[in-house]
Structure 1
Amino acid sequence: MKQTDVVVIGSGIGGLSCAAVLARYGFDVIVCESHSIPGGAAHAFERNGFKFDSGPSLYSGLSYSPSPNPLRQVLDAIGSDFKCVTYDTWGCRLPEGDFDTSVGAEQFCEVLTKLRGDDAVVQWQELQRVMEPLARAAIAIPPAALRFDIGAAITVSRFAPSLAKHTANIRKLTGPFSRIMDGVVQDPFIHNWLNMLCFLLSGLPASGTNAAEVAFMFADWYRPGVVLDYPVGGSGALVNALLQGLEKHGGQLILNAHVEQVLVEGKRAVGVRLRDGKEIRAHRAVVSNTSVWDMLKLLPQEALPKKFRAKRQATPECDSFMHLHLGIDAQGLQSDLACHYIVVNDWEMGITAPQNLVLVSIPSLLDSSLAPPGKHVIHVYTPGNEPYALWQGMDRKSLEYEQQKRSRAEVMWQALERIIPDIRSRCEVTLVGTPLTHERFLRRHRGSYGPAIQAGVGLFPGPNTPIAGLMCCGDSTFPGIGLPAVAASGMIVANTLAPVQKHLEMLKDIGI
């Protein structure tokens, strides 16, 4: 039996952010990871010299400090860093045609002029004008200052003057983005474009996406001189940076350590039991970085009030993913390839329709270390629009499963052929991932992208639970799917467990 201050279940970005910041505060921390590779949905893996990102492909706000990106704030707090390559353009393959677009306020106006005319440009510029004060409000409180106890009155109070200026706008950020969008934008292409961005941010269209998430994106993507980032070494470099910070401050990661149960004595979480029977006791807290549904499986039935368990179990869920991970021969490829592409087959189907939206990432265009000389790595995926029900109960070793993999992967091949027509003949490594892959390797309930909590209808529950000493981080606790949201959730838990004075010292150290 091991003893520690805090046990963190899961080494996803939220769990690692929480653990590394806790270690920075001086806590003894052990992270238990079921997989043989750390990083959760952001882990990286290698096949035949090709280095793949399992998940994230689009990053921003990481190449400078201070930054509104919570992950950058975590890295600053723990004193870790990594190199980034910057760029600003990606490709689109949409029903209206093929074109490139960029972050920044002006270039998209050029796209709109060609596709939709001057009236669409006027609407877009008006939306930017409306969003400008909302964007400032969205970043008025740095996530690093937040905590879920009475100490927040102290750590947040220093931002009170800024908050006072944004009070009216902060209220507008609590509802769905569609409420703002529909009052300004009538052009159908802009509507479709914004619904697509919302889906990529939250797994929901504009009617379900919190306005604050979109305002944060506007604050980041449409400021002067903006660039996008790609970490040298891929998402694995981010995971390694968090691990370095964790270990530098005395924390520990244990791989192949599958948590079977959270130990609850009386009404308090006191540790975890692993699959091999070993126990790790936690004096201060157990932090779950699992999904809300997977967390419930770890708790004794009687430990939670029935009403709480039923409510959390009923949390609506986003669909899952299909993935293509390819290692290809790059000889003779066209020289004007973009690092990323967005492919939409049909706006009329709705942006959330299965297999309608496909994303393509070719990160070795930015970072040649990801592939052998003369080669590229490619990641193609359907982001949160693959129904788990199509796969439920299948034997992963069966002929039926292999046939369905080929069938359901075809839309990704077709999307990629719009960019590299002879792609199938170039492949040296071909890996197909399904919702069952997500469920097995990421320990994700039904392979889900995350909660589908509609803005204005439901609220994310935050880190606290009815069990003393049990807290949660990750995409089930904080709005917004992706690295910034989960990093924020982890940092908030760490802040809540830390003394206020240490929290204030950390904010001073990172220039916030």
Structure 2
Amino acid sequence: MVDAIVIGSGIGGLSCAGILAKYGYDVLVCESHAIAGGTAHSFERNGFKFDSGPSLYSGMSYSPSPNPLRQVLDAIDEDIEWLNYDTWGCCLPEGAFDTQVGAEQFCEVLQQLRGENAVAEWKKLQQVMAPLAKAAIALPPAAVRYDFGALLSVGQYLPKMLQNAIGLSQITGAFSPVMDKVVSDPFIRNWMDLLCFLLSGLPAESTNAAEVAFMFADWYRPNVQLDYPKGGSGAIVDALVRGLKKFGGKIRLNAHVEKVLVENQKAVGVKLRNGEELRSRYVISNASIWDTLKLVNSSEFTQQRQDTPQCDSFMHLHLGIDGQSLDHLACHHIVVNDWSLGITAPQNVVLISIPSLLDRALAPPGKHAIHVYTPGNEPYEIWEKCDSYPELKQQRSEVMWKALERVIPDIRSRTELTLIGTPLTHERFLRRHRGTYGAAIRATDGLFPSALTPISGLLCCGDSTFPGIGLPAVAASGMIAANTIAPVRNHLELLKQIQ
């Protein structure tokens, strides 16, 4: 018997478990895979260390920070070494160029591509977003809880929220109405569609304005830099696991949860695939909402959440290559093939990450580790009943090879190790329903559901419970679930520590 069982060791689940352990709860994380971390885990092949998922981080190398994941690490007294950079490459229909985070350098790009009018519109958008950015960070997600204790935890931020009341009123809907007021230049509109897609898996017309405002608060502040964890994304997972164990929590790998045990409409534990039953006061599912519904027998819960819209899946290339004469490259690149297709069109956007340019230990001497992926724009349907899986892998990975050739023209001759991941890879190893990137709830359709469920004692965290599908969003969801369980006095003490 433990106080809480967390299903899944993704960043959301580990954030929840670590905070609960910090609060003094006896916590057990059950992870189906042999490696902790969910979509954010790292793995090694032939001396190359690869990230399985996220590759872009910001707001992590300083504290206090508005990034919820940074706040989780602060709360459990853990950190890692962060490597900083500010430049990333773009291969767009307009051409290839390097750009930097920060507002001024992008004006230089706009001047070259679009002229004075575009620069003026961008500066106007910056002005419009400034109060919205302040509003977006007026209430830290760490203060949120889903009970009456929120009157105290959220209430202390009420003066700051009132100061930003006008901005708050503008970030509750979609971002496109905000953009429409000041931006008509097609390149800027496409650019913002791209950034929205990377934030939420949706275009500007469907992305919550608060997500974009948070990005502006972080990416376009003075002296901003991007971060990368030394050791890869697995270093973040290791830090969260260390924090969990430091406060008495436990994690079990290869522990596949087959069922949530429910008695008298209350979750009382889980049943593992091997038949073992584990009892607890609370169960928190870090599985996707569709995978969570498979674990419970609740018509009410199913009726509420089964139709949650979902993003498409991924294609991945993990490559080990000869790294000679590549040190001049930016470590990250974004490739867009055709704006006219729409930013969410299948395989239209490709991301390239070469983290070994920052952290040499990720590859053998003279080599580089590369991760190329299509971020949530690979349809699962293509893979459901394919005739030849190996042949389809080669065919559907070609768009990533061509994208990478725009950055490293001789990439095919340099490659020494090739691993291709598909939606079926996501489904099998990450336990993701249809390999999905996450929930695709449009801002125009209302708010994301809370961590609460119709089953007493069963909560959810992860990408189906908080706007956005990146690490800040899932870390926030984990904190909120943990805070909802904890006494409000403990919650208030934690807020003092991390603020």
TM-score by length of 1: 0.97
Residues 399-457 of structure 1, C-alpha deviations (whole Å, 9 max, x = no match): x1100000000000000011111111111110000000000001000000111111021
Quick one: distance in 2 between partners of 1:260 and 1:341? 40
1:163 pairs with one of 132, 136, 161: 161
Per-residue CA distance 1:272-324 (angstroms, 9 max, x = gap): 000000011002x1000011100000002xx342xx41231111111000000
Distance in structure 2 (CA, Å) of the matches to 1:304 and 1:295: 13
1:151-300 aligned within 5 A: 151-283=149-281, 285-300=282-297
What is the one-letter code of the residue matched to 1:252?
Answer: K
1:98-497 matches, within 5 Å, as: 98-283=96-281, 285-300=282-297, 303-305=298-300, 308-331=301-324, 333-394=325-386, 400-497=388-485
Aligned residue identity for 2:17? A
Residues 41, 233 of structure 2: 8 Å contact kept: yes
Give the C-alpha shift of residue 142 in structure 1. 1.1
TM-score scaled by length of structure 2: 0.99
Give 4+ residue runs of structure 1 displaced > 3 Å after superposition: none
Residues 454-500 of structure 1 deviation map (CA, whole Å, 9 limit, x = unaligned):
10213211100010000000000000110000000000011111111
SS at match of 2:347: coil
Distance 1:492 1:393 in 2: 39
Does the CA contact (< 8 Å) of 1:304 and 1:466 recur in 2? Answer: no
Do the aligned partners of 1:304 and 1:467 also contact (CA within 8 Å) in 2?
Answer: no
How far is the alpha carbon of 1:185 from its aligned partner?
0.3
CA distance in 1, matches of 2:489, 2:442: 36
CA distance in 1 between partners of 2:373 and 2:450 (Å): 29
Question: What are structure 2's unaligned runs of at least 5 residues?
Answer: none
Conserved? CA contact 2:202–2:440, under 8 Å: yes
Aligned counterparts of 2:65 and 2:299: Cα–Cα separation in 1: 39
Report how far residue 160 of structure 1 moved.
1.1
User: What amino acid maps onto 2:305 in structure 1?
Assistant: R
SS in 1 for 2:478: helix
- Find the aligned partners of 2:165 and 2:127 in 1 and give their Cα distance: 18
Q: Which amino acid aligns with 2:374?
A: T
Deviations 1:172-195 (CA, angstroms, capped at 9, x unpaired): 111110010111100000000000
Gaps of 5+ in 1: none
**RMSD over equivalenced CA pairs, Å:** 0.8
Q: CA deviation at 1:226?
A: 0.4
Report the identity percentage: 69
Preserved contact between residue 258 and residue 275 of structure 1 (Cα < 8 Å): yes
